[in-house]
Amino acid sequence: MELFLPFLLLIFASFFQGTFGLGMKYMNPMSWESWWVIHVLIAMILFPMIWAFLAVPNLFEIILNSPKDSIYLAMLFGFLWGIGGIMFGVSVPYIGLSLTMGIVMGLAGSAGSLIPLFQIENASSQPSFPYIIGGLVISLVGVAITAKAGIDRDKLISTNNSSNNIFKGILIAVICGLLSSLLNVGFANAAPIAEKAQEYGVIARNSSLAAWVVVLWGAFIMNFGYALFLLFKNNSWSSFSFSNSKNAYKWSFIAGFCWFAALGVYGQGAALLGEIGPVIGWPILLGLSLIISNYWAYKAGEWKNAKKPFNKLLIGLFVLIISAVILGLGNSV
């Protein structure tokens, strides 16, 4: 029972993480940048702050009394993660969504787990170390298989196989993957903020919310700043006032809710797993969310008339489930 709750929370977090992208299908008639401004305000400021205020009394006092280097480092990692998110969109036109997703998810999951792991003293001598490394390797295999399935599906849909800029696209995706891992690195390095919250009497599960608030300040600065830059550059302010934008606003709110619900619930599960929580929880979150997102893609007909690639996808998703089980076992030894 001790392990049941944290892993149940990780499963719920994965559902939210795999679901939030649905909202991006309903941006029209808003421009990307106007929709994104609303989304990041909800996902990175409004919802995290409301949840944290409800669960963490004296939130700002806790943050102000936390080590300053932890605050600045957490915000820096959040800011760098924001750059990675923007680079994701740049990479897709060069090498396609499936290959970009495979590279980014693989690197974000592995680097986002390994960096916090090696920040733990004597990490390699821990009994869980072989399970973590084994689980990460298997997770990378699963991500690679699902990416290949996506590439094969795309080939059936499109005859455009131009590879003029494939090296550039892969390079951008690799940088994006490494930067995307820093969201979890920021969370792991914000642990002193969560510890300070516990000194104020906040339960361990909710103390992670104080850490997320700080990490997401940095993430918000980058994302909001870039969207604002595009609003001025493209002079697309009028897209806020489209009379038929109610559906886009609604999905922006839903996507923002799901996005932070994923991180907030993940943070609670990771906190219950102890010091090694961000190491084990992060790749489980990304692996299971890939399963959820492909389920929604299947429901939307994106795998229609692609039987062989779909069968390959199922193999990849099964491998991801195995990796999650192995990572889970690593916390029980």
Of the candidates 296, 220, 305, which has an alpha carbon nearest to the alpha carbon of residue 263? Answer: 220
Q: Output the pLDDT for position 3.
A: 67
Which residues make Cβ contacts (< 8 Å) with residue 46, sequence separation at least 6? 256
Of the candidates 303, 316, 305, 293, which has an alpha carbon nearest to the alpha carbon of residue 25? Answer: 293
Query: Across the 333 residues of the chain, what is the mean pLDDT of every consecutive 10-residue run?
Result: 80 91 83 90 95 94 96 96 86 73 84 88 84 91 87 71 66 89 93 95 93 96 94 89 82 92 93 88 89 85 84 90 86 67
Give residue 305's Cα distance to chain centre.
30
Q: Is the dihedral of CA 132, 108, 23, 145 positive or negative?
A: negative
Q: What is the largest CA-CA distance in the chain?
A: 61
Alpha-carbon distance of 234 to 115, in angstroms, equals: 38
In a domain? residue 233: yes
Boundaries of domain holding 315? 31-330
In a domain? residue 283: yes
Collapsing DSSP to helix, strand or coil, 273 comes out as: coil
Domains: count for the chain: 1
In a domain? residue 11: no
Alpha-carbon distance of 144 to 78, in angstroms, equals: 26
For tokens 């890939």, name the residue.
290
Of the candidates 13, 7, 12, 24, which has an alpha carbon nearest to the alpha carbon of residue 297? Answer: 24
Q: Residue 13: is it exposed, middle or buried by C-beta count within 10 angstroms (0-12/13-18/19+)? A: buried
Q: Output the pLDDT for position 164.
A: 55
CA distances from 22 to 157, 212, 256, 260 (A): 21, 23, 11, 14
In a domain? residue 108: yes
Q: Output the pLDDT for position 243.
A: 74
In a domain? residue 19: no
Which residues make Cβ contacts (< 8 Å) with residue 59, sequence separation at least 6? 52, 53, 210, 213
Global pTM value: 0.87
In a domain? residue 20: no
Residue type, 298: Y
Lookup: tokens for 128: 């869980």
In a domain? residue 10: no
In a domain? residue 23: no
Which residues make Cβ contacts (< 8 Å) with residue 67, sequence separation at least 6? 192, 193
Lookup: tokens for 185: 């690195």
